[in-house]
Structure 1
Amino acid sequence: MEQFRPMRRKRQQLSEEESIRILQKSTAGTLALLGDNDYPYAVPISYIYNKGKLYFHSALSGHKVDAIRRSDKASFCVIEQDDVQPEKYTTFFRSVIAFGRIHIIEDEAQKQETARMLGDRYNPNQEEALQKELENGLSRMLMICFDIEHLTGKEAIELVRMHQKQ
């Protein structure tokens, strides 16, 4: 495993449990990859978190898919809170960044399972509709797995102070 930089402002660091809770609760984030001509490529995307992994779906081709095939290193950012405080010239924020390795799922059973997890997350209790969607569309999509190697969360110092007063 790679060595990751420690957070500079440790007082603002969220626990691993709280960072995971944010990933479990949120529905979208920004996936950052090595894009064309070595430029960063960041794309907003829906996801599901499950047991230390993030899962995404994608079209069969495109910039994102090319970038994943080029390099398996990626990061993923979720912003849970972003409250601008104009009078204080600051923002009350809470966010999580995951670093890890990303790959396209090739195994058909695993592809089906992860597509089902994603479908259940965004349209729960609709088994029949989901099954029909998978039968009609699974062959036209990729499922992508992001293995989290390092997870860090951070919140605004003002939020840290508020928690301490409680």
Structure 2
Amino acid sequence: METASHPHGEMRRSDREITDRAEIDAILNAGKVMRIALVDGDTPFLVPIFYCYDGKSIYFHSAKSGSKIDIIKRNNKVCFEIGIKHGFIEDAMACDFEAKHKTVIGLGRAVFVKDEAEKIAALDRIVALFTDKHFEYPQTNLDRTAVLRIDIESIKGKKHGYA
């Protein structure tokens, strides 16, 4: 997985770039909602989803049908964004207000998880974001739930307003 090269080129404000992979991973682990951007022909599609990160890949779940799933079946390239600690930095001039944030943006490919153990592990990680309770998944629920893994190809982090 590469961190330096990105199709958007060099970060204009290099003083805001996060280059420490541990800090990028901390943002990935701290978030709960990710936005994924997909492309269907020449039409962009953006959707917020709950996710989990296992230190290597990002997982999310979905119904087995719908716009997001249909698009991924045609084009599994995704762009994802995870942001935490959003706010603003006030200034005396309106045009000098700035966003306070920690953000990760990356590119990858969405892969449908077929292995049931991997699927359950991902669902357990997603559920653990919201509760300490452990759940069993009835086979009927597993059968009608898609779990997808984003294999990360490139990733960048950016922050402003934080040390």
TM-score (norm 2): 0.84
- For structure 2, the 5+ residue unaligned runs are none
Structure 1, 90-99 or 25-34: larger mean CA deviation: 90-99
Matched, 1:8 2:12: yes
Matched, 1:23 2:28: yes
Match of 1:80 in 2: 84
Letter of the 2:44 counterpart? P
Shift of 1:30: 0.4
Match of 1:91 in 2: 99
Shift of 1:64: 0.6
- For structure 1, the 5+ residue unaligned runs are none
Match of 1:110 in 2: 118
Shift of 1:71: 1.2
Runs of 4+ in 1 over 6 A off after TM superposition: none
What CA distance in whole angstroms lies between the structure 1 residues aligned with 2:97 and 2:143? 49
Structure with greater proportional helix content: 1
Letter of the 1:39 counterpart? T
CA deviation string 1:118-150 (max 9, x = no partner): 2233322x22xx10x444521111000001111
What CA distance in whole angstroms lies between the structure 1 residues aligned with 2:87 and 2:42? 33
Structure 1, 115-124 or 71-80: larger mean CA deviation: 115-124
Match of 1:56 in 2: 60
Asked if 2 retains the 8 angstrom alpha-carbon contact of 1:16 and 1:152, the reply is no
What CA distance in whole angstroms lies between the structure 2 residues aligned with 1:66 and 1:89? 40
TM-score (norm 1): 0.82
Matched, 1:153 2:157: yes
What CA distance in whole angstroms lies between the structure 2 residues aligned with 1:95 and 1:49? 15
